Amino acid sequence: MTRNAFADYLVRRRAELRPADIGLPGGGRRRTPGLRREEVAVRAGMSADYLARLEQGRDTNPSIAVIEALAEALLLDDGERSIFGWLAMTSGHEARCPEPAPAREQVSETMETVLRALAPTPAFVLGLRLDVLGWNTAWENFALPLGLLDQRENVNLARYVYAHPQARRVLRNWAPAADTSAELLRRATLRRPGDAVLRDTITTLRRNPDFAARWRPQGAGLPISKVLRFDHPELGAVDVPVEMLEGDAEQNLVIWLADRSAAAGPGLRLVPPQASGE
């Protein structure tokens, strides 16, 4: 049976802990890193056989008491417990989660106005599945030589990073960019576990070994990179700070500060300062 995200979390977290973390003496040979299954089972007050069934995905209905006992045994903090509980309740049942309304892919007139107002700063609207739903002319001019707009009707940042032949050549920090794409998709699955299109997107991406190695539907996830470092075909080496302004749960405004000098001060200035004497 294929392990689910909750089972994966149990196995990975057990491997991360060391005997000293739970007050056991170190030393001695262990076949695998981390704690033994029996050690976690004793701490959680359950049998090692039952923990094995959970780790192998053979049991997908742990009780609230079991979830809490395992969270305590695995030394999870409050944030990790929240993710752990959510995975326990949904993993193995994704297909039975209520299908949400389709993610909104139409950019509103208000957002279109904001995109135009941000010129000459490149900006675009990013959807839940990392689809680029709309952009301004400045972003188009910057992105076109990178190959990002080769398929204008289906622009997706994750597919570009992992599958486009230019991505590794033009992104000097390809690995952090790849980590960020995987992490944003992970967060999307936590918000919309019943989204069939999102699941299909991730299933397709997981055929790519680089994405599969980074895909962590459980745990703390991967770091978010705030800078894209390009070897731009026309502009040369360009470091682009990235600002993501969260809108609703389905769309975010992303700004590429390709010319940092255009943004005076630490904050993003949308309205130009008044001329002196006015």
Rounded percentage of the chain residues whose pLDDT exceeds 90: 46
What are the residues facing 213 on neighbouring strands? Answer: none
Q: Sign of torsion, CA 145 146 150 156?
A: negative
What pLDDT, on a 0 to 100 scale, did the predictor assign at position 16?
86
Q: Token pair of 129, please?
A: 């599945």
Check if the beta carbon of residue 185 is closer than 8 Å to that of residue 206.
Answer: no
DSSP 266: S
**Edge-to-edge, what's the strand order for the sheet holding 123-127?**
132-135, 123-127, 251-256, 236-246, 227-232
Say how far apart CA 278 and CA 60 lie, in whole Å: 67
What is the maximal distance between C-alpha atoms in the chain?
Answer: 78
- Average pLDDT rounded to a whole number, residues 260-278: 39
Say whether pLDDT at 63 is over 80: yes
Alpha-carbon distances, residue 127 vs 106, 117, 187 (angstroms): 10, 20, 13
Q: Comparing 187 with 139, which gets the higher pLDDT? A: 139
Domain residue ranges of the chain, discontinuous segments joined by +: 5-92, 109-262
Alpha-carbon distances, residue 40 vs 53, 90, 150 (angstroms): 14, 22, 51
Q: Which amino acid is at 82?
A: S
Fold of 109-262: Beta-Lactamase (3.30.450)
Q: Sign of torsion, CA 261 262 264 267?
A: negative
Residue carrying structure tokens 């576990």: 193
Question: What is the CATH number that goes with domain 5-92?
Answer: 1.10.260.40
Torsion angle (degrees, nearest 10) of CA 8, 248, 240, 169? 50
- pLDDT-derived band at 28 (thresholds 50, 70, 90) equals low
Of the candidate ranges 164-168, 208-212, 235-239, 256-260, the one whose mean pLDDT is the lowest: 256-260
Of the candidate ranges 3-17, 34-48, 108-122, the one whose mean pLDDT is the lowest: 3-17
CA R_g for the chain? 23
Q: Token pair of 125, please?
A: 């609207």
**Residues 6+ away with beta carbon under 8 Å from 9:** 83, 84, 87, 218, 219
| Equal fold, 5-92 vs 109-262 | no
- Nearest of 115, 124, 162 to residue 143 by alpha carbon: 124
Q: What is the pLDDT of residues 72-130, one digit of tens each?
A: 999 988 877 877 887 787 766 555 444 444 545 688 888 899 999 998 999 999 998 99
Q: Which helix (H) or strand (E) holds 232?
A: strand 227-232
- Nearest of 93, 88, 47, 96 to residue 68 by alpha carbon: 88
